[in-house]
Structures are given as C-alpha cells and as structure tokens.
Amino acid sequence: MTSDAIKRVAVVFPGQGSQAVGMMNELAEHFAVVKETFDEASAALGFDLWEVTQDEERLHQTKYTQPALVASSIAIWRIIFDKLKSQDLEPVCLAGHSLGEYSALVASGVLSLSDAVVLVHERGKYMTDAVAAVDTQMAAVLGLEDEQVASLCEDATTNAGIVNAANFNSPGQVVVAGTELGVAHVLSAVENLGKKAVPLKVSVPSHCALMNPATDKLAARLNDTSFNAPQIPVIQNRHAVSYDAIDDIKTALIEQLSMPVQWAKTMQKLADKHIDLIIECGPGNVLSNLAKRQAEPISALPSYKLARLEKLENLA
C-alpha cells in the first residue's frame, strides 16, 4: 500500500432533494444489480418503483421519492461494497442525511431493503398528511452562525408562524423549515442582515415541529418492523451518535422526523475518526459538496455515474 493510499473509508447516503428523473438509467445499463434491487423493492411495495424513477410527477411526491431514493442508494451500495471488498477495504462507519439514514441502516444490516422501502413509503404519507392543510416552505440560510439562525427562527415562530432550524449542514449553512409565513419572516430578517437565503423546492418541510403529528404514526410503524443489530456503525442524525441498541436506533429515527439533522457534527465525527475518503452512495453530489465546507474538510467522491464508480477501482 502506498503512503497516499486510502485506508479509512466512510460511506454516506443522501436524502430527499437528490432525486432526478432517470437517475439510475446509466448504471442500470452496466450493472444487473440495479434492476434486481428495484425488483426487490417493487415486490415489497406492490408497485413498479423503477417506473416511478422515470415519472417526474410521481418521483417528486414524498411517498414515492423516499423509497425511490432508498432503492437507488442501496443499488449503488451493492456495487460499491463489492469494489471495496475486492481491495480489502471495509467502511469504518456509515451515515445518511435525513432520509438517507434509512439507506445507511439497510447497508448496515439493521433493516432489510424490503422493510425499509415500505417503511419510508409510509413515512412519506405520514409527513404529507401532517401538513395537508398548511402552506409550508424550506430554505437554506447562508453565512450566519447556527445560533443566529436559531434565534431568527424563535422570533419568527413568535411573530409569524412555526419555523425551526431543520438541517445544520455545514458551518454557515443551515436549512430552516416551517410554515410559509414563518419561513418568509426568517428570509426577510436574513436579507436585512445582508446575508443570503435560498428557498428549496420540497413538498414537505422535514425536521420541524410541523412533523409532530407524524411521529406517533412512525413510532407505531417502527414497532411493527424487524430490526437487527448494526454490522457497521451508523452515525444517526439526531445526536450524531451511533447506537448498538435497537431501541436507541428506533428512538433516534422517531425524533429525527421533527428535530434537526446534525450533519456538521456527523462530519466532524468522521474527521475525528481520521477518515481518508467519504463515498457518497446515491444520486447526486450534495453530500460530497458539503464535505468540502466542513470545519475539517474530508475528500469525498460521488458514485452515481459510471465514470465516478471507476474511480473506486484502485483506492488501496
């Protein structure tokens, strides 16, 4: 092994917003496991999940987005795992951003793919139902400290409508979520401070108090789902901690729905573990870009295209 060879790898899985129509088409042409994975997921769901990935309208509905992303991520995981194993490399740990946490738990053996896609399909329904009568919004706030954004959210909730910090993604990037009026209040305050905020195109405002009605339903659904002990540690969103006990894993999933994603802390945990390379396992490159913006940046490699996957051939 050369002095600059990769020795410690972590694999991370993206969440909602990474989906795109036809996102797995190229890899499906080269790897039979892609369609095999989607066939497995479709059989569990009772509908053709591959067709969903070709249909823009359905793909962007949360109840379909979530299983489509989990199946896509696990198809890529199955390709990546073989490539790493052939080089005697095993991931030190896994993590998933928001929905991606479910993909990470499948990769770790905590959940089966069949159970996971059914679970997140139902999760998407619970989330949609929770805000069916509410106008909602999410937006990325850039250039402010975490505490400043939290303070703006508190002020907005008092004076306009519910809004919370939803994703602490990296230093200077915090996503907020809540009612349309509440988020608009935050965006106005951000503009007055001379900073930038970007509204996000999402159908459901995750990780905020508006999701509270969905948490009990999710908890009941989790109790009806089979869980196993993790084979690879998964750093979960709620506290940026990996758990061994199944009850703790479930609790973190429940709380994650209405509480913020601690992604910057998760990335710091990877830095503390001296990770040489983060592999983003799923469509898009959002998490690879975030890896560059952390307090301790880590090299990251997206893997959703054939050319990207080829870069995993000679790591060790």
Q: Is 60 a catalytic residue?
A: no
Do residues 256 and 98 make contact, with C-beta atoms less than 8 angstroms apart?
yes
Choosing from 42, 72, 73, 98, the catalytic residue is 98
Closest among 310, 100, 90, 284 to 206, alpha carbons compared: 100
Residue 177's DSSP bridge partners are 138, 164
Q: To which H or E segment does residue 184 belong?
A: helix 180-192
d(C-alpha 95, C-alpha 239), whole Å? 12
User: Residues 103, 207, 258, 303: which is the catalytic one?
Assistant: 207
Respond yes or no: is residue 98 known to be catalytic: yes
- Cα–Cα nearest to 206, from 256, 269, 135: 256
Alpha carbons 212 and 125: distance in angstroms, whole number: 14
CA–CA distance, 223 with 274 (Å, rounded to integer): 35
Which residue in 139, 125, 183, 136 sits closest to 157, CA to CA? 183
Sign of CA dihedral 264, 266, 271, 275: negative
Measure the CA–CA gap between 158 and 296, rounded to whole angstroms.
35
What is d(CA 27, CA 29) in angstroms, rounded to the nearest whole number?
5
* HEC sequence for 232-276: CCEEECCCCEECCCHHHHHHHHHHHCCCCECHHHHHHHHHHCCCC
Beta bridge partners, 96, equal 13
Distances (CA, A) of 15 to 105, 121, 220, 307: 13, 14, 23, 22
**What residues are annotated to the active site?**
98, 207
